[in-house]
Structure 1
Amino acid sequence: MVKKVRTYSYEFKAEVIKKIADNKGNISATAKQLGIAMQTLSNWQNKATQGKLAGTEQYDPQLIAVLEENKRLKRQLKVAEEEREILKKATAYFAKHS
């Protein structure tokens, strides 16, 4: 059985967050009304409160830019650490065989 993956626009997600607020934060009732999984709405709600969901009042593009830069820098650090380990091993090997 092939499972369909639904994608929703940021505008739709923002409207759903507003609907959750209109339902006094009741995610399960909103999920039943819209026919969307409760976990999906809960994830959207969490992202909205963290400022990571575009189209919501809490959305902070500067925060997203900082998070993306943080990811990039972590990847660079990992590569640099791996390179350093390789150089350490090579230095030890050549020092041993000199």
Structure 2
Amino acid sequence: MSNKRYPEEFKREAVRQITDRGYSVADVASRLGVTTHSLYAWVKKYGPAAEQHRVEADDQAEIRRLQKELKRVTEERDILKKAAAYFASQSE
């Protein structure tokens, strides 16, 4: 296994051959000497739906952040409710 790095323009051109020119992933992979796995990853990153993938990933990250914040705020609210009930019972 080699960890060869390819320039961004090389990757974009490989993706263009698949998406614009209609070559199969296997054809492009054998011609360029890269793995099909790499090409599929490049298509996902640089292909026509790349912006949508980026937006979806950003949305998912925002949802996870909001869920985490909701959990924290809910726990704080529950603690405050218990504290209010405790102090209300102490004042009687």
TM-score by length of 1: 0.58
Alpha-carbon distance in structure 2 between the residues aligned to 1:19 and 1:93:
63
Residue 50 of structure 1 pairs with residue 39 of structure 2? no
Alpha-carbon distance in structure 2 between the residues aligned to 1:74 and 1:7:
33
Residue 12 of structure 1 pairs with residue 1 of structure 2? no
Q: How has the CA–CA distance of structure 1 residues 74 and 8 changed in structure 2, closer, same or farther, with 3 Å as cutoff? A: farther
Q: CA deviation at 1:38?
A: 0.5
Bigger fraction of residues in helix: 2
Q: Unaligned 5+ residue runs, structure 1?
A: 53-59
Alpha-carbon distance in structure 2 between the residues aligned to 1:40 and 1:88:
48
2:82 is matched with 93
Alpha-carbon distance in structure 1 between the residues aligned to 2:16 and 2:66:
40
Q: Unaligned 5+ residue runs, structure 2?
A: 88-92
Q: Percent identity?
A: 19
Q: How has the CA–CA distance of structure 1 residues 12 and 80 changed in structure 2, closer, same or farther, with 3 Å as cutoff? A: same
Residue 83 of structure 1 pairs with residue 72 of structure 2? yes
Alpha-carbon distance in structure 1 between the residues aligned to 2:60 and 2:78:
27
Q: How has the CA–CA distance of structure 1 residues 13 and 34 changed in structure 2, closer, same or farther, with 3 Å as cutoff? A: same
Aligned residues: 85
Rg comparison, structure with higher value: 2
